[in-house]
Amino acid sequence: MEELKKLEEAQRMITLMESHALLSSPSSNNHHSNRFLANLFLLLIQQCGDLDFKDKLTLINQHLPKISESFLEEASLLFNREEAVLQTESKLIANSNSDLEDMALVGLDAMQRANSTLEDFCRSYFMFHEMDINKPQSIFKYLPLLSFTESYIYQMDSLNEKIVNMQTNIVGAVERKPHMEVSESWIRKFIDMLKNDPFGPLVGQLQHHGLLTERINEELRFGEEYWDLERKLCSALVNQTEILVEDVMRAIHLKSFDYRVLNLLLYQLRGEKVNDVHMEFLSISEFLVEVSDDLFDYEDDVLENNFNILRMFVRIYGPAMAPAMLAKYIAEAEEKYGSLLKALDPQLSTNYQRRCEEATKEGGKMSGYPLGSWNIPPAIVDEELYRSNWLNSESVVPLG
């Protein structure tokens, strides 16, 4: 409620500024400039002791020349909690050459976000290891390392999402958080951190416990590639630059790298050889689940500027052709899925299909493979307008 009030006050001030010709000159970021000026004017009119408007203007004229960019960056780190969190995250994971035992840390928020993925992994993948999900000892024996690994990945993924939004100046609409102004230097630091061996601390832990394999290392490299593609593609959407379908399909196939890391890790924990038939089947199943999740989350992903295959197809093929082109890729994957399903042990095939049915009924993120039932939502042609309308609808305060 407080944020809505602030938004309304800023909009009223912008209207007043317009009537007095105080709006900034048109540019690509004039919206943010006007919002900044509006907030500044709102601050100036607030009561502060016995200072009148003339006193305030005199103070500003005296001190403004002394304010430097470095001072503002230091003040931001000291008082802006969100940016302070980012700084803390960067310290935890930036230096892969330091003591890996100390650096490989995860936060509570990352663990909570990873929880639903871990539950889905246990219920969907344990059967491929002949493990009974209904026996607690099967879960808790391997849970610490599985949970730590997935939580670390979620922590890095959360940082990557923040970088995407910083690069594109998109405010997380669903989270309804105030915009965080971050300098260009900070953006460069975060991007460099993700490009500079972001999995170093995790790799060090896996090596320490004798669990690291070349295949796990390869999947972690795929994770880095996915995050790079996510930043590239989401920025291209906002900036209206070219998007290649090859990049989109590469990204959607890489997106489930965390499941493959967990699965390979479970083989190592159990001292078993990797079953390539199972891995190939699960890979195509993961693709279908990712597409299903993207369709389910389409509107939210537009608001949040997240990677989403339908968003990309609408940009590449247009709103009329996008559903048909996506359906083509789905049909090809379904055909391969059906063929690989026949190669599984009959009991395993039955159990997995039953699990997919359960996940589909549960809905949400654990939507599972939809078993032939696909619902492609209407295309959002103008995403910027859609976000603007959503924010405006949220700012309307009901009377009474």
- Let me know if 186 is exposed, middle or buried by CB neighbors in 10 A (0-12, 13-18, 19+): buried
CATH 1.10.600 maps onto the chain at: 79-395
First to last CA, the chain: 14
Q: Report the distance separating Cα 129 and Cα 298, nearest Å.
A: 33
Amino acid 25: pLDDT: 62
pTM beyond 0.85: the answer is no
Amino acid 30: pLDDT: 65
Q: Report the distance separating Cα 126 and Cα 293, nearest Å.
A: 21
Amino acid 179: pLDDT: 41
Amino acid 328: pLDDT: 96
Q: Report the distance separating Cα 149 and Cα 40, nearest Å.
A: 44
Amino acid 311: pLDDT: 97
Q: Could you write out the three-class secondary structure of 160-205?
A: HHHHHHHHHCCCCCCCCCCCCCCCHHHHHHHHHHHHCCCCHHHHHH
pLDDT tens series, the chain, 400 aa: 565 567 677 778 878 887 887 776 654 456 677 878 878 888 888 888 888 888 888 888 888 888 877 667 666 655 554 444 455 455 544 444 444 344 556 788 888 989 999 999 999 999 999 999 998 888 899 999 999 999 999 988 888 887 777 766 665 444 444 444 445 565 566 566 666 778 988 998 999 899 999 999 999 999 999 999 999 999 999 889 999 999 999 999 999 999 999 999 999 999 999 999 999 999 999 999 999 999 999 999 999 899 999 999 999 999 999 999 999 999 999 999 999 999 999 999 999 999 988 888 776 444 445 455 788 999 999 999 998 888 887 655 454 4
CATH architecture of 79-395: Orthogonal Bundle (1.10)
The vertex-151 CA angle with 148 and 152, nearest 5°, equals 85
